[in-house]
Structure 1
């Protein structure tokens, strides 16, 4: 055993030493188990999946803008050899993210909340920074080393083995610490890159204030210790200091902000949920384009994407999902879908759901006997395959065998509520859009919103959207965002 441990240590040292690569940003040697070619391959594989998951937001003007600024910034980055791609995805969530190899994505939700070109440029630089500093590769490598260290420690120390779960949780916090360090490094790179193409990087700090207000508005603020991103308030001061220093370093005396030009570009941008992709109202999901509706169980949360609708209770004890499934008949679709998921039917019957032909199937994972030995609570599913409008829909509920009887009625009630959507109000529902209007006379933001018939109960939301306070004094001629259908 001792020889094996020593051999393992020698092999680990060799692996680490042979995996050291120069970080393009810092110039220092980092342990990396992912080559640049692997990063590029990973990005190429992930990109179509991301596009399929969210869909692209079709706006040629905005797409041209982010590509132009992205390519301009890529040239001044630490990895200008990569072929970068920049895309706007059709999601109301406020987010921007990057994958290895040069792929950067902005949601239409974050594009709606920027209030000038400089804020966008700062976040663009931040995301490019994740790519240039190879943060994904670093994270993967650190995770491999940490887990390897944990396993080795369990072999050498019975005490560590006894508290393996607690140690693993500690390693989870360590990984979050690495991630927060990566975020801080990307903030610094975002300041550097956006300043290099002439923008006022301090505006990125102001956007962090918008993020913080959105968190507080939704009651979803996350303690800094358990968040993979540094606290927005903490980042505000740091980024302002970095921006001042970078402008002096680059001798940038008149940095660009581009407020009015940016606001005019997003005039007409869809804001919030797009009804044509499906929307929820009073615990009922409506899909105007596909012309169906069904009830979501009371108190359940949901997530809607172009590929599927997922629902579940807050405690995570069950999940239900709706997807389109291929097949020339219900029987073929059911058989193929169950096979794809590795499910073995326990009970199956043909039913009718509000006049629509359907098949209801109770199924368990295949090789149930083996799974029962491997896990204490094996799973069971209830699926309704429903034919409507030339499509076949799968509504699948998943929970443990132990909880299945408790959730059976919840699943089946929701699935049996599926029906043709015929309500003209729901079929013709239009999305809300950003509308850029001009303040006609000097007033507060609150007064300006009222003059454009914005209801009082949405004033705080619109103040955050504009990156302002309701009491802010606005000169005549100021452009602001309102929301209209």
Structure 2
């Protein structure tokens, strides 16, 4: 087809599509371009859910799950789209996060549940996530990014830490989810969070208070707490704005709005806190996995993130990263072939070796640029092309893939670090690491009047964890606590 006639055809086709795809948004009431039907939204949710669960796992707490189902269904009934088949899940991650997928799928991490201090905070964030679904934010994001063919399917209060475009490229190759929305979408969902939580009887001012907790978490960097993505408004600004929204709503709709602090505190008593040692943990510069019985070093000052399906770590400058996953295949050769095919790799070097007595296969490769249907092949800049060093290691009836990645320009400087990590993959036999128990949040009754610091110290919390516990409780160290008040402490 001639180039000029093709462009004319494309313009006519897109114009026709936009004319027929206009629909009224259920939240705003405005007519807008809609490139995703309700059936398509539901299909996306159904297709995405298994990947979410495989990546993060479900957290088994029947009381908490029943509570989330009850409040979610009540809120769905008062939402702008009550007929969607909503489903609610608690995922097994310590990260403070909540996100939604089109079609009615809503996920809270156990990490965010541990940081709520009353039912009203929970309800506000739940309304925020349902708001992403009712306002069709995924469909509107698809519309705005039609020509770049970027599918955005989630909206998080917080999202896993992003360490540069290098790791994003491999994440796309590994099929992970991109959980981004615009600032306007986030603000609109804050409005809906206030509205929906208020309609089921909760004081939405508490939702604003939770943004104060998020701000403190974002300022406490360098731990297992993710940074805010650039698409999210500043949590301090959201604190002020949500408080005003709640005040305005309550002035127009006078009622007795509930907080229910003690009820929620008792509900989360005993919830797991931080990393689940059974899934692996980082300590003193090493990643240990007790159940799978292996260990390997984590480079100094690198940040890490763990999940049931993979372990990621990256330099703070974002120029290099490593990811550990299970490889597909019953042999090293089969695993290598599957990897090259699935990640569209152009292999530069490869060879077999042994790592601490374990058979291994090493590949140096580049990820080939993906060509969208109907697009001409573009030349990839060799300096920014993603280069990957992969060590496939056969250990205890499984094959692990340890990827080191950087741009072509930075790969040689990073390769020594990648190699040092991979070549120190070895068996784990230390009883202290193998038998490590998870930390949990326990709800205790304050034995005395005093400052928060004095109360939790009297309850046995070490002095170096008072600030951490203060964030968990939404309190400052010098805040006054009265005798009999329920407080959260961290212990094994």
1:138 paired with 2:145, answer: no
Offset, 1:84? 0.2
1:374 paired with 2:370, answer: no
Q: Aligned residue for 1:115?
A: 117
| Worse overlay, 54-63 or 348-357 | 348-357
Q: Residues 416-468 of structure 1: CA distance to partner in whole angstroms, max 9, x if unpaired?
A: 10100001111111111001000122222111011012122211111111011
1:237 paired with 2:240, answer: yes
Q: Distance in 1 between matches of 2:257 and 2:424?
A: 57
Q: Aligned residue for 1:91?
A: 93
1:192 paired with 2:195, answer: yes
Structure 1 gap ranges (5+): 148-176
Give the match's secondary structure for 1:92. coil
Residue 391 of structure 2 is aligned with which of 370, 379, 384?
Answer: 384
Q: Does the aligned pair in 1 maintain the 2:222–2:303 contact within 8 Å? A: no
Give the match's secondary structure for 1:82. coil
Q: Aligned residue for 2:265?
A: 263
Q: Distance in 2 between matches of 1:282 and 1:480?
A: 30
Q: How does 1:57-206 map to 2 (within 5 A)?
A: 57-144=59-146, 179-206=182-209
Q: Distance in 1 between matches of 2:84 and 2:94?
A: 29
Structure 1 residues 190, 340: closer, same or farther in 2, change over 3 A? closer
Q: How does 1:30-41 map to 2 (within 5 A)?
A: 30-41=32-43
Larger radius of gyration between Structure 1 and Structure 2: 1
Q: Distance in 2 between matches of 1:6 and 1:412?
A: 52
Q: Residues 95-130 of structure 1: CA distance to partner in whole angstroms, max 9, x if unpaired?
A: 111111111111111101100001100111111111
Q: How does 1:290-369 map to 2 (within 5 A)?
A: 290-343=292-345, 345-364=347-366
Residue 455 of structure 2 is aligned with which of 427, 448, 455?
Answer: 448
Q: Residues 221-255 of structure 1: CA distance to partner in whole angstroms, max 9, x if unpaired?
A: 9999x832222222223222322332343431x21
Offset, 1:400? 4.5
Q: Residues 354-383 of structure 1: CA distance to partner in whole angstroms, max 9, x if unpaired?
A: 12222333445579xx99953323554332
| Worse overlay, 313-322 or 398-407 | 398-407
Q: Does the aligned pair in 1 maintain the 2:124–2:206 contact within 8 Å? A: yes
Q: Does the aligned pair in 2 maintain the 1:277–1:287 contact within 8 Å? A: yes
Give the match's secondary structure for 1:144. coil
| Worse overlay, 185-194 or 99-108 | 185-194
Q: Aligned residue for 1:459?
A: 466
Offset, 1:411? 1.9
Q: Aligned residue for 2:418?
A: 411
Offset, 1:264? 0.6
Q: Does the aligned pair in 2 maintain the 1:196–1:250 contact within 8 Å? A: no
Q: Residues 333-361 of structure 1: CA distance to partner in whole angstroms, max 9, x if unpaired?
A: 33333333334555444322212222333
Structure 1 residues 371, 398: closer, same or farther in 2, change over 3 A? farther
Offset, 1:265? 0.9
Offset, 1:402? 5.0
Q: Does the aligned pair in 2 maintain the 1:322–1:393 contact within 8 Å? A: yes
Q: Does the aligned pair in 1 maintain the 2:218–2:227 contact within 8 Å? A: no
1:469 paired with 2:476, answer: yes
Q: Distance in 2 between matches of 1:2 and 1:363?
A: 38
Offset, 1:93? 1.0
Number of residue equivalences:
453
Q: Residues 168-195 of structure 1: CA distance to partner in whole angstroms, max 9, x if unpaired?
A: xxxxxxxxx9822222221121111111
Structure 2 gap ranges (5+): 150-179, 370-375
Q: How does 1:15-54 map to 2 (within 5 A)?
A: 15-54=17-56
Give the match's secondary structure for 2:28. coil
Q: Distance in 1 between matches of 2:450 and 2:189?
A: 38
Residue 433 of structure 1 is aligned with which of 440, 448, 463?
Answer: 440
Q: Distance in 1 between matches of 2:13 and 2:364?
A: 49
Q: Distance in 1 between matches of 2:148 and 2:434?
A: 53
Query: Which is helix-richer, 1 or 2?
Result: 1
Give the match's secondary structure for 2:220. helix
TM-score under structure 2 normalisation?
0.84
TM-score under structure 1 normalisation?
0.85
Q: Distance in 2 between matches of 1:23 and 1:130?
A: 12
* Superposed CA RMSD: 3.0
Q: Aligned residue for 1:216?
A: 219
Q: Distance in 2 between matches of 1:365 and 1:460?
A: 43
